[in-house]
């Protein structure tokens, strides 16, 4: 995990490690300088009563120089570590979102949105968190090596005490890491569960309030929040015990150094300045050694988060079905079959051809596979078998129109390189231009989230304009005008026929008046094309179609 993360932004990480090594060398140097100052400035001042000014100046200059070097190392380490951490976060987010875009619609439908959001934000943040202290921890390794060398060269007895701390700390860290790995993974999963429930509650606020289910939703969220709390408490209790021991071990080591050091000074083996340097260095090592513990202690949570991200990045994008771009706007479907998961197929061996520029209505009872057929034509779903010959330039407008919390212009253009004239032309065909022009800010009007400030019919017409703005060769309308009155719908379809003469239009329709405007009708039932022909032909020859049409007309609403 660390190798892959560092490889994303190696230069700033290397700069952070370099700064940490400089800091490590300066830390050992500061203790050595302090020992020399004790022996050459402080002791002579007490024993002789006088110290040359030049000696004091040299001692002071040495302390300042080491301090400046230390500060430079800290700045270099922190800047490099921050650039590496936030750079990796940005890169991982880009990779996850890019993978989300490539994965099929069915994959997204199989996972709660809260979990996808957790992967794209919280997991990435947790996975990259370790890169901030990691250069410091790497520098601590250098610090330990330099310290060990200096201790061994100075006094082997004191060196043994100092060096015994290292294996004890490593053993404690490894034990803690094994213990906390599973609880940390559970904690990350609970974060995703809470995000999923919260997203569903907010997204379905209208349903919750309409049905008076606020208390039930609050209770459902409470259960998930408490499960997350319990998981976090478990990890925190384990971490607090670990950090207490990590603090205690260096303190015990310092006491041992003082006891043995006093004996070595009395024996004349070392000077008081050397003992002061030893104690000062061990005191300075307490926080760096604890930082190694922090890095290793946080590693299970980081690994758990990275595993969740890696799971997304390693998802295989299924091979595309046999598709060939049609030389014109015609459509040719051969033996198309599709099923959702292990359920029975909803589209079964469907085959048909559509001539370029024609308008075709897909009609059928609820659950007959109408929407699924359009999603297959739009290449949002991958069929189990069959071939699709269709234009590559496709646009789809759904019954449930989704708008972004942006301007109306942005919602229609949707980041594509289109002019204002193209945006307005598409809005005119969708019969929404006059409404937009009447607004105080016109096309610069910002709509609420999901277009909440617009009516259902207005949202549908904006979404239709978005589908039309690039003049696609294949236009798919999934009951995209169901919230529009019949007169406006007729005007829209007439405008489509006038402006998009070369565009093949396939629309799921339920109003008999709408169906009658189509050049041809595909009657879909039980996942199969049961009949095709004009609206009048099917009324006269297909009883099931006539029965359905009469039911729609008598109900006066779309099913």
- The domain boundary, picked from 263, 286, 313, lies at 313
Do 263 and 188 fall into the same domain?
yes
23 contacts 139 by C-beta, under 8 angstroms: yes
Alpha helices in 397-440 (DSSP H): 408-413, 420-429, 433-438
Q: What's the token pair of residue 529?
A: 């094309």
Model pTM? 0.64
Q: DSSP letters of 24-49?
A: HHHHHHHHHHHHHHIIIIIHHHHHTS
Helices 122-129, 156-203: crossing angle, 10 deg rounding = 170
Handedness of CA 47, 53, 58, 61 (dihedral sign): positive
Do 282 and 382 fall into the same domain?
no
Do 301 and 354 fall into the same domain?
no
Q: Can you give the pLDDT at residue 383?
A: 85
Do 238 and 257 fall into the same domain?
yes
What is the phi/psi pair of residue 115, to 5°?
Answer: -70, -40
Q: DSSP letters of 407-419?
A: BHHHHHHTTS---
Handedness of CA 359, 557, 456, 382 (dihedral sign): negative
**Gap between the Cα atoms of 334 and 212, Å rounded:** 48
Beta bridge partner(s), residue 338: 347
Q: Can you give the pLDDT at residue 558?
A: 41
- What is the tens place of the pLDDT at every residue in 188-222? 788 878 877 887 777 777 677 766 778 888 888 88
Nearest alpha-carbon partner for 476 in 346, 351, 375, 329: 375
Measuring CA to CA, how many Å separate 155 from each of 142, 151, 162, 271? 20, 6, 11, 11
Q: DSSP letters of 190-252?
A: HHHHHHHHHHHHHHTHHHHHHTT-HHHHHHHHHHHHHHHHHHHHHHHHHHHHHHHHHHHHHHH
Q: Which domain holds residue 380?
A: 322-555
Nearest alpha-carbon partner for 320 in 396, 398, 376: 376
Do 179 and 34 fall into the same domain?
yes
pLDDT per residue of the chain (559 residues) written in tens, 0 to 9: 888 999 999 999 999 999 988 988 888 888 888 888 888 888 887 777 777 888 888 888 988 999 999 899 999 989 999 999 999 999 999 999 999 888 877 788 778 777 788 788 888 988 888 888 888 877 777 877 887 788 788 888 888 887 787 777 777 777 777 787 788 778 878 887 887 788 777 777 767 776 677 888 888 888 888 999 998 899 888 888 887 887 777 778 778 888 888 888 888 888 888 888 877 777 776 667 666 666 766 777 788 888 888 998 888 876 655 455 555 667 888 888 998 878 889 999 988 888 888 889 999 888 888 888 988 888 888 888 888 888 878 888 887 788 888 899 998 998 888 899 999 999 998 889 999 999 899 999 988 777 777 888 888 889 889 988 888 888 898 887 777 777 787 788 778 777 777 888 898 887 777 787 788 999 998 889 899 998 888 888 989 988 888 887 766 544 3
Cβ-Cβ contacts under 8 Å for 526 (sequence gap 6 or more) = 348, 368
Task: Tell me which residue has tokens 């259960």.
Answer: 223
Q: Can you give the pLDDT at residue 289?
A: 65
Do 206 and 300 fall into the same domain?
yes
Handedness of CA 464, 466, 469, 471 (dihedral sign): negative
Q: Can you give the pLDDT at residue 327?
A: 54
**Gap between the Cα atoms of 403 and 371, Å rounded:** 20
Which element (helix H / strand E) includes 522? strand 520-525
Do 167 and 113 fall into the same domain?
yes
Do 519 and 482 fall into the same domain?
yes
Q: Can you give the pLDDT at residue 286?
A: 63
| SS3 state of residue 299 | helix
Q: DSSP letters of 316-333?
A: PPPPPPEEEE-SSS-EEE
Q: Look up the CATH number of the domain holding residue 266.
A: 1.20.1560.10
Do 76 and 107 fall into the same domain?
yes
Nearest alpha-carbon partner for 43 in 257, 275, 282, 281: 275
Q: Can you give the pLDDT at residue 559?
A: 35
**Gap between the Cα atoms of 295 and 73, Å rounded:** 20
| SS3 state of residue 520 | strand
Angle of CA points 468, 473, 479, to nearest 5°: 55
Do 41 and 158 fall into the same domain?
yes
- The domain boundary, picked from 264, 284, 313, lies at 313
Do 452 and 307 fall into the same domain?
no
**Gap between the Cα atoms of 515 and 362, Å rounded:** 8
Cβ-in-10-Å burial (0-12, 13-18, 19+) of 101 comes to exposed
Do 210 and 329 fall into the same domain?
no
Cβ-Cβ contacts under 8 Å for 306 (sequence gap 6 or more) = 1, 5, 123, 127
Domain count, the chain: 2
Beta bridge partner(s), residue 476: 396, 506
Q: Look up the CATH number of the domain holding residue 506.
A: 3.40.50.300
**Gap between the Cα atoms of 35 and 315, Å rounded:** 59
- The domain boundary, picked from 280, 313, 346, lies at 313
**Gap between the Cα atoms of 46 and 338, Å rounded:** 93
What is the phi/psi pair of residue 112, to 5°?
Answer: -70, 145
């Amino acid at each position: 995990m660390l190798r892959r993360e560092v490889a994303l932004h190696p230069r700033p990480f290397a700069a952070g490690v370099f700064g940490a090594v400089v800091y490590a060398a300066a830390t050992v140097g500061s203790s050595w300088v302090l020992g020399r100052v004790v022996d050459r400035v402080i002791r002579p001042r007490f024993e002789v009563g006088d110290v040359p000014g030049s000696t004091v100046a040299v001692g002071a200059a040495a302390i300042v120089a080491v301090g400046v070097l230390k500060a430079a190392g800290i700045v270099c380490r922190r800047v490099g570590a921050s650039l590496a951490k936030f750079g990796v976060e940005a890169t991982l987010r880009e990779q996850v979102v890019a993978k989300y875009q490539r994965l099929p619609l069915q994959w997204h439908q199989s996972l709660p949105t809260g979990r996808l959001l957790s992967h794209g934000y919280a997991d990435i943040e947790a996975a990259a968190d370790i890169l901030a202290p990691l250069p410091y921890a790497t520098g601590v390794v250098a610090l330990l090596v330099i310290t060990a060398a200096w201790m061994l060269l100075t006094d082997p007895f004191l060196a043994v005490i100092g060096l015994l701390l290292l294996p004890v700390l490593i053993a404690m860290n490894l034990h803690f890491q094994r213990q906390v790995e599973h609880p940390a993974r559970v904690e990350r999963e609970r974060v995703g569960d809470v995000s999923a429930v919260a997203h569903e509650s907010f997204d379905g606020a209208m349903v919750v309030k309409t049905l008076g289910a606020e208390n039930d939703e609050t209770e459902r969220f409470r259960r998930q929040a408490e499960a997350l709390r319990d998981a976090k408490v478990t990890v925190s209790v384990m971490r607090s015990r670990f950090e207490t021991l990590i603090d205690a071990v260096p303190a015990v080591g310092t006491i041992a150094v003082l006891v043995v050091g006093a004996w070595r000074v009395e024996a004349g083996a070392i000077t008081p300045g050397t003992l002061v340097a030893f104690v000062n260095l061990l005191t300075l090592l307490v926080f760096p050694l604890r930082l190694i513990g922090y890095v290793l202690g946080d590693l299970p949570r980081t690994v758990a988060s990275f595993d969740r991200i890696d799971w997304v990045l390693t998802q295989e994008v299924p091979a595309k079905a046999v598709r060939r771009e049609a030389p014109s706007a015609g459509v040719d479907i051969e033996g198309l079959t599709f099923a959702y998961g292990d359920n029975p197929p909803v589209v079964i061996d469907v085959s048909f051809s559509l001539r370029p520029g024609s308008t075709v209505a897909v009609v059928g009872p609820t659950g007959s596979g109408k929407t699924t057929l359009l999603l297959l034509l739009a290449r949002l779903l991958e069929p189990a078998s069959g071939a699709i010959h269709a234009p590559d330039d496709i646009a789809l407008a759904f019954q449930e129109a989704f708008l972004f919390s942006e301007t109306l212009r942005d919602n229609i253009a949707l980041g594509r390189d289109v002019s204002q004239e193209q945006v307005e032309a598409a809005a005119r065909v969708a019969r929404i231009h006059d409404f937009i022009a009447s607004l105080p800010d016109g096309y610069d009007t910002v709509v609420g989230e999901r277009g909440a400030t617009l009516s259902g019919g207005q949202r549908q017409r904006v979404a239709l304009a978005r589908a039309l703005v690039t003049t696609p060769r294949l236009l798919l309308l999934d009951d995209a005008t169901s919230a529009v009155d019949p007169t406006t719908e007729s005007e829209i379809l007439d405008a489509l026929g006038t402006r998009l003469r070369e565009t093949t239009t396939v629309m799921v329709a339920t109003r008999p008046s709408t169906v009658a405007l189509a050049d041809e009708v595909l009657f879909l039932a039980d996942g199969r094309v049961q009949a095709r022909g004009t609206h009048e032909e099917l009324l006269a020859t297909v009883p099931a179609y006539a029965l359905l049409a009469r039911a729609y007309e008598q109900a006066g609403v779309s099913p």
